[in-house]
Amino acid sequence: QVQLVESGGGLVQPGGSLRLSCAASGFTFSSYAMSWYRQAPGKEREWVATVTATTAGANTNYVDSVKGRFTISRDNAKNTVYLQMNSLKPEDTAVYYCNALGRVLMTTRNYWGQGTQVTVSS
């Protein structure tokens, strides 16, 4: 059974930092691209960052609004993807979701976690 379990969210002051974790199980983690998305109240879900599959070089990409502040990384030994968030702003407030995207036997597999709340406020 596939599971993606996020943790690490919470309340932080502007300028602060948080590290989100997403523990994965039930699939071949290293073969999947792992991403973070977020959804603020009243807004659509937004892509934040991706680290490609290890077989594809584990390259990283970010939405412009978080470049230089957020870092995505993966630890295949722990089946975990991280999102280090620094210099947080109130506009970063959202529910953050972990996503796994891969292909198995010519079929695209797309998995989501349940989300973790990040609130940036003084």
Predicted local confidence at residue 57, as pLDDT:
81
* pLDDT, position 112: 98
Of 11, 17, 37, give the one whose Cα is nearest residue 114: 37
pLDDT at 115: 97
Quick one: pLDDT at residue 104? Answer: 84
How much is the pLDDT for 58?
82
3-state SS, residue 29: helix
Mean pLDDT per 10-residue interval, the chain, length 122 residues: 97 98 96 97 96 88 98 97 98 98 92 98 95
The reported pLDDT for the residue numbered 65 is 97
Whether residue 45 contacts residue 112, with contact meaning beta carbons closer than 8 Å, is answered with no
Dist CA 3 CA 88 (whole Å): 28
